[in-house]
Chains A and B, each alone.
Chain A
Amino acid sequence: MSVITAENVTFTYGKGTSFERTALSGVSFSVEEGEFLGVIGHTGSGKSTLVQMFNGLLRPTSGRILLNGKDIWEQPKKIREVRFKVGMVFQYPEHQLFEETVYKDISFGPKNKGMSEEETDKKVREAAGFVGLSEELLKKSPFELSGGEKRRAAIAGVIAMDPDVLILDEPTAGLDPLGRDALLSEIVTYHKVRKNTVLLVSHSMEDIARISDRILVMNNGRKAMLDTSENIFSQGAELEKMGLRVPQITKVMMLLKQRGISVNTGVLTVEQAFQEILSCLGCCGETKKW
């Protein structure tokens, strides 16, 4: 079943002013329940505008956004409920920490949602567990945490609201490779355990390729592609035209193919490439023997 559906969504910033600019035009697609969807596109492609539509921060100029089959703007006064169902983690979410303690900060969302003290406590601890924040840290002021811990605390604040859909906008920006891998695997684990829907916006093709079920590619405010990771990244030339880059390892395979070596260019990770080259070597080796 689709959780979120965009129906012919168009959005224009500054409508009726001289700064009018169309950020989205005629975007239609569905996100399936339990799916991990990666969203990529160059800066200004409309991907951030798009994800802000899903929890009603922006209202389509025309077209509809459906959540579980219902138009989220049918009753504009109830848009707040949508924001609890669709949790949004913005870029650099640590800039939004404000409470005295990490615990209080994470509990802000669930409390606002109207959860009981007991339930809130459970959700806070659960969320902290997902992002690997220890009991000790919950008592500290958010401003005493390291950069990576702050980022985790902010993400936990959204997870604690127990949203059906979690949207993360560039959650790993500015982290080092190990910090990036750790955070991504926490998100993947969360997705597996909670079995909810996750949308991840990222500039890092390597990350998106590795963890997404499907990938949505935005270009100039339009949906350019929506397909499995392998199918998306086998179209390296088209992605490059849109100002995007394929993972370096995919690029290597594309170059080999151009030089007349028959390899699978849908390779996304070093491990896959390694196996692919080994099987090429193995098969060539055998031919030689015969």
Chain B
Amino acid sequence: MGSFIEVKDLYFKYDDPEDENKNEFALNGINLTIEKGSFVAVVGHNGSGKSTLAKHFNSLYLPTSGDVSVNGMNTKDDSHLFDIRRSIGLVLQNPDNQIVAGIVEDDVAFGCENLGIPPKEIRKRVDDALKAVDMYEYRLHSPDKLSGGQKQRVAIAGIIAMEPECIVLDEPTAMLDPQGRDEVISAVMKLNRERGITVIIITHYMEEAVLADRVVVIDKGRVFLDGTPKEVFSQVEMLKQHRLDVPQGTELVYKLRGCGFELPKCVLDENECADAIEKLLKGVS
């Protein structure tokens, strides 16, 4: 796995004359390398700078100082703009803001059409992309009749059809119900595992972050924690101090450990948590 995105000493300030905090940097010296094919979750509270960071990946924003490069191409270099945007697809929070066509398959084809891909090839890619997110049977439906989770998967299909190497999702599940969240996350995980697409997901849901290979916690425009989900979520106290949650099961085991019971340092999901507590209870009796 080679590095795909390189962020070096990234500082960023919003250029807004009306902003009272104009002397404050939204990003305060970020250094980060994203490996090709990895699945990275970026978490942080509102205003921590995580979305600002995401918008640097496909050069929607340019660094005030420092550099961001994608596949070796510096985002500041205009001549690479199209290549960068082609290799990184961005999915936003509200599916309604990113659907443009009246029929699902037209919407998925929109990006490809703009890239000037031959119609035959588009047909193939659209079908393929819709199958990848399990929305093929809805290809002739009207997007406004779909549920939020379905719409979001259509938006993702539109990105996949352009065959990017990386997908950046900015809180893709914030507006969805639990079932919609599961649908979107499992579609994204499948793309990562089966097609090797690099995935960067920005989320408030720690239950989603634990599914990633790596969790990056952003606070005050800096990388505050960076590691595997186990490494990051074992820092319960530290995360709470920085206005972040841990999954409930993780917190329970942490509290029990605090009472001196012998438990694993970090559990991530309900099964691991139940395993640990079962062992503890049976060990005592």
A→B interface (CB under 8 Å): 42-44, 144, 146-148, 173-179, 203, 205-206, 243-245, 247-249, 251-252, 255-256, 259, 261, 270, 273-274, 277-278, 280-281, 284-285, 287-288
A274 with B281: in contact, given A176-B45, A252-B273 (CB under 8 Å)?
no
Q: Are B248 and A206 neighbours in the complex by a CB distance under 8 Å?
A: yes
Q: Check: B23 CB closer than 8 A to any chain A CB.
A: no
Report the stretch among B110-118, B120-128, B170-178 that lies at the interface: B170-178
Q: Check: B251 CB closer than 8 A to any chain A CB.
A: yes
Q: Which residues of B contact A144 (CB under 8 A)?
A: 18
Q: Are A43 and B176 neighbours in the complex by a CB distance under 8 Å?
A: yes
Using CB atoms, name the residue of chain B closest to A239: B178
B→A interface (CB under 8 Å): 18, 45-47, 93, 147-149, 171, 174-180, 204, 207, 243-245, 247-249, 251-252, 255-256, 259, 261, 269-271, 273-274, 277-278, 280-282, 284-285
Using CB atoms, name the residue of chain A closest to B150: A43
A256 with B46: in contact, given A43-B149, A270-B248, A278-B259 (CB under 8 Å)?
no
Q: Are B259 and A176 neighbours in the complex by a CB distance under 8 Å?
A: no
Q: Which residues of A contact B280 (CB under 8 A)?
A: 277, 281
A176 to B202, CA, bound (A): 12
Q: Which residues of A contact B180 (CB under 8 A)?
A: 43
Q: How many whole Å from B169's CB to the nearest CB in chain A?
A: 15
Q: Which residues of B contact A277 (CB under 8 A)?
A: 252, 256, 277, 280-281
Q: Are A43 and B177 neighbours in the complex by a CB distance under 8 Å?
A: yes
Q: Are B178 and A252 neighbours in the complex by a CB distance under 8 Å?
A: no
Q: Which residues of A contact B177 (CB under 8 A)?
A: 42-43, 203, 243
Using CB atoms, name the residue of chain A closest to B269: A248
Q: How many whole Å from A195's CB to the nearest CB in chain B?
A: 31
Q: Are B256 and A274 neighbours in the complex by a CB distance under 8 Å?
A: yes
A144 to B16, CA, bound (A): 12
A245 with B252: in contact, given A174-B171, A177-B204, A281-B281 (CB under 8 Å)?
no
**30 A-B contact pairs sorted by A residue (CB < 8 Å):** A42-B177, A43-B147, A146-B46, A147-B46, A173-B174, A175-B46, A177-B243, A203-B177, A205-B178, A243-B178, A244-B178, A248-B247, A248-B248, A249-B249, A251-B270, A252-B248, A252-B249, A252-B252, A252-B277, A255-B271, A255-B274, A256-B281, A274-B255, A277-B256, A281-B281, A281-B284, A284-B281, A284-B285, A287-B285, A288-B284
Q: A205-B178, A247-B248 are in contact. List 18 more A-B contacts (CB 8 A).
A: A43-B179, A146-B46, A176-B45, A176-B244, A177-B204, A177-B245, A243-B179, A244-B179, A248-B249, A248-B273, A252-B270, A256-B278, A270-B252, A274-B256, A277-B252, A277-B277, A277-B280, A277-B281
B47 interface neighbour in A146, A245, A281, Cβ under 8 Å = A146
